[in-house]
Amino acid sequence: MSIKEELLRLVGPESFTDDPAVLKAYSTDFSLVPPGAANYVVKPKKTEEVHDVIKLANAHSIPVVPVSSRVHFHGTTIPKQGGIILDLTTMNNVLEIDALNKRVRIEAGVTWEQLTSELAKKGFRMVMPLLPHPLRSVVTDYLEREVLINTVYDYGEPLQSMEVVWPTGEVFRTGSASVTGYPDSPSKGANPSGPGLDFYRFLQGAQGTMGVVTWANLKIEYLPKIDKILFAPVDDLDYAIEFLYRILRIRIGQECLLLNSINLATIIADDWHSDFEKLRASLPPWTLILVISAFQRRPEEKIQYEEQALEEILRNEFPEIHIADHLPGSPGLGKKLLPMLRKPWPEQVTYWKQRPKGGCQSLFFITKPTWVSRFVGKIAEMAASHGYPIADVGGYLQPIEHNRACQLEFNFFYDPASYSEVERVRGLYGEAAKVLLSEGALFTRPYGEELTQLVYEKAADYTMTLRRVKNIFDPNNIMNPGNLCF
C-alpha cells in the first residue's frame, strides 16, 4: 500500500486530503518564514488515529507536522521537509470543567474563543496572554509559553498533565494523568510532574518537535466579582519600572502590562481609518494598565486595602505616576479594555497585530526590567539605521512574577505585499536579534531560522544535550524536523 492508501485507511477519506490548494494553505503563515509544502493533510478525530498516523510515519521516516491552531504567526507549522500535516483542529472538545479543583481538560484543537466563552458561562477564566488570536489553540499557546498578563499567582504556569503521542507512536499520559484508566480514576490530572521524569518540560517550547499533545489539563481561575481597571500615562519608562518593582512585589494587581502608543492605538481603535492616527498621536508614549480585582467574599474590602496600599505608595514614593480609572484623552477606555483582556481578540476584527499594515514581525525576549531601557534604546538606534521610524515600532512590556523579570516585545509592522518593506523588516529583525542576544536578551522561544540558529549556536552544550534527548523520543527525527535545532 502507498502512504496515501495507508493514511486513507487509517483516518478515512473525510479526514484526508492531498489537494494542492489545501496543501498550499498550510505552506505559509503570517511570518516571514519561507514557504514549505507538505504532501498530505490528515485531520484525526481521536487519539487512536493520531497514534496510527504517527506510527506509520515513524516506520517510513516521514515527517509529521502537528497543527492545532487555525492561524500561525511564527512559522512553526510550515513543513520544512514535506510530510504529513497532522491537523488537530477538529479534535476540539472541552472534555471536562472541574469546578472543585479549578481545572479544565481540553483537546488540542480547542480555541481561545471556544474556551473563554465556555468557562465564562461557569464563572471561570483562564490566566490569559495578551489578546490571543481567537482561533489559536489554547493548549499550543500554553505549551509555547506565551507570556501571561496576570502576574499575581505565585504558583505560575497553568499547564498540568497531558496526553501525548510520542514520535515513535506510543500514547502516553504525563503527570498524574498517567495512572491506568485515567480519567476513570481518583487522580484528576492536577499534577504536571513525572512520572519518573518531567516529560511535560520536554514538550514545552518544543514547537511540535517532541510529540503531539492531544489533550491537556489546565488551571482555571474564578472570574472576579469586582474589577477596577486603572491607567497611568508613562513618559519615563524607567520610572514606571521602578514603580512596578515596588507595587508588584507586594502583590497589588491582577493584570498588569505596559503598551506603547502604537500598540495601544492598534488595540483600541474602533474605526481604523478615523481613530488610529488620532489615537497614536494623542496617546502617551507608554500606558500602564493595572487591574485590581476582588472575589466573592468581602470584595469591597479587598479593593479598599489594595487601593489604599497603592495610594500610599503613589503619594509617598512615586508622585509622578498618575493612576486613574481613565486615561486622559481616551474616554470609556476602561469599560472597553477590561473585558477585552479576559477574552481573545474578536474574530470579526482584523487581528490587532495585523491592523496597521497586515504583516507583523515580533521580536520578544525575557529580560530583567532594569535592562528594558537599554534594549529600547538599542532598538531605536537600529530601527533608525534601517530606515524604520521608531514611532512605528510597537512596544509591549509584560512584567512577570512580581516584576522579577519581564517579557519585552517589539512589533515591526510591514505591508506583506511590499518587497521593500518586507526586506527592511527582515534586515532590522535579523540585526536586532543578533545584537540583543549578544547584549543579554534571553530568547527562550526562538522562532524563525535566523534567530533559531543564533540561539542554538550560542547555547552549544544545551543544544547538544537537547539533541540527545530528542534522539531518544524521536530516533528517526520525524516530528516537525527543521524547527529549533533539529
Partner 1 sequence: MAISEEAYKVLESIVGPEYISADPAICEGYRAGPGGYECGLGYERVMTRVPGCVVMPRTTEEVQRIVKVCNRYGLPFVPYSTGFYGARSHPHVSDALLIDLKRMNDFEIDDQHLYAVVGSGVIYSQLQEEAMSRGMYAIVGGGGSQVSAIANMIGDGWSPLSYRIGLPHRRILGTELVLPDGELVRLGSLALQDDPFWGEGPGPDLRGLLRGFTGHRGFLGIVTRMAIKLLPFQPERLEPTGISPHTTLQLPTNRVKWINFTMPSTDSMQQAMVEMAKAEIGGAVTKVPIFWRAIARAGSKEEFWELWSKETEETIRDFHVLRVLIVGFTSEEQLEYEEAVLMDIIGELGGEARRTRPTDESWFKNADSAGMWLMCGGYVSVDYVIETVEHAIPHGENYAKLKRNYTPPLMPDYGDPGWFQSFELGHQGYSEFLVYWDPDENTDGVDQFYLETSKENIRKRFYTSLLGAHQPLYLTGPAYGPNYHKWLLEVKDEFDPNHVCHPPVPLAHDVFVERAEWMKPLKDWGGPDITAEP
Residues 184-223 close enough to bind partner 1 by CB under 8 A? 184-188, 190-207, 209-210, 219, 222
Among 445, 474, 479, 482, binds partner 1 (CB under 8 A): 445
Looking at the Cβ atoms of 14 and 300, the one nearer to partner 1 is 300
Task: Specify the residue, 155 or 419, whose C-beta has the smaller distance to partner 1.
Answer: 155
Element (H, E) at 97: strand 94-98
Q: Is 411 a residue that touches partner 1 (CB under 8 A)?
A: no
Does residue 443 interact with partner 1 by CB under 8 A?
A: yes
Binding footprint of partner 1, residue count (CB under 8 A):
95
Q: How far is the CB of 448 from partner 1 (least distance, A)?
A: 13
- Distance separating alpha carbons of residues 94 and 106, to the nearest angstrom: 5
Q: Which of 28, 101, 418, 476 binds partner 1 (CB under 8 A)?
A: 101
Smallest separation, CB 175 to partner 1 (Å): 8
CB of 466 to partner 1, least distance (A): 6
Told to check if 405 binds partner 1 by CB under 8 A, we report: yes
Nearest distance, CB of residue 204 and partner 1, angstroms:
5
Residue 237's closest CA among 404, 402, 381, 395?
Answer: 395
Residue 351 or 443: the one with the smaller Cβ distance to partner 1 is 443
Q: Out of 38, 115, 466, 478, point to the residue binding partner 1 (CB under 8 A).
A: 466
Three-state DSSP state, 208: coil
Of 90 and 373, CB closest to partner 1: 373
Asked if 182 touches partner 1 (CB under 8 A), the answer is yes
Which of these segments, 109-117, 326-334, 344-352, 459-467, binds partner 1 (CB under 8 A)? 459-467
The answer to whether 64 and 57 are in contact (CB under 8 A) is: yes
Asked if 256 interacts with partner 1 (CB under 8 A), we say no
Distance CA 127, CA 34 (A): 33
Return the amino acid letter for 220.
I
Can residue 458 be called a binding residue for partner 1 (CB under 8 A)? yes
Helix (H, G, I), strand (E, B) or coil at 289: strand
Phi-psi region of 180 (alpha: psi -120 to 50; beta: other; left: phi over 0): beta
Contact criterion met (CB below 8 Å) for 218 and 155: no
Give the long-range contacts of residues 163-166, CB within 8 A, separation 24 or more.
Answer: 163/47, 163/213, 163/214, 163/215, 163/216, 164/199, 164/203, 164/211, 164/212, 164/213, 164/214, 165/47, 165/50, 165/51, 165/54, 165/211, 165/212, 165/214, 166/54, 166/211, 166/473, 166/474
Q: For residue 212, give the 3-state DSSP assignment.
A: strand
Site for partner 1 contains 394 (CB under 8 A) = no
Query: Looking at beta carbons only, is 260 or 452 nearer to partner 1?
Result: 452
Candidates 36, 63, 83, 175; binder of partner 1 (CB under 8 A) is: 175
Which residue, 8 or 179, has its beta carbon nearer to partner 1? 179
Of the pair 199, 231, the CB lying nearest partner 1 is at: 199
Cβ at position 25, least distance to partner 1 in Å: 26
Cell numbers 503527570 correspond to: 175
Q: Which of 295, 350, 385, 423 binds partner 1 (CB under 8 A)?
A: 295
- Find the angle CA(344)-CA(290)-CA(414) to the nearest 5 degrees: 50
CB of 458 to partner 1, least distance (A): 6
Nearer to partner 1, 153 or 272 (CB): 153
Return d(Cα 472, Cα 130) in angstroms, integer: 35
The answer to whether residue 180 forms part of the interface with partner 1 (CB under 8 A) is: yes
CB–CB of 203/172 below 8 Å?
no
Q: List the one residue from 82, 153, 380, 434 that touches partner 1 (CB under 8 A).
A: 153
Nearest CA-CA partner of 197 in 174, 180, 179 = 174
Where are the alpha helices (H) located in 287-371, listed in sequence order?
299-317, 333-341
CB proximity list for 348: less than 8 A, separation 6 or greater: none
Residues 300-329, interacting with partner 1 (CB under 8 A): 301-302, 304-306, 308-309
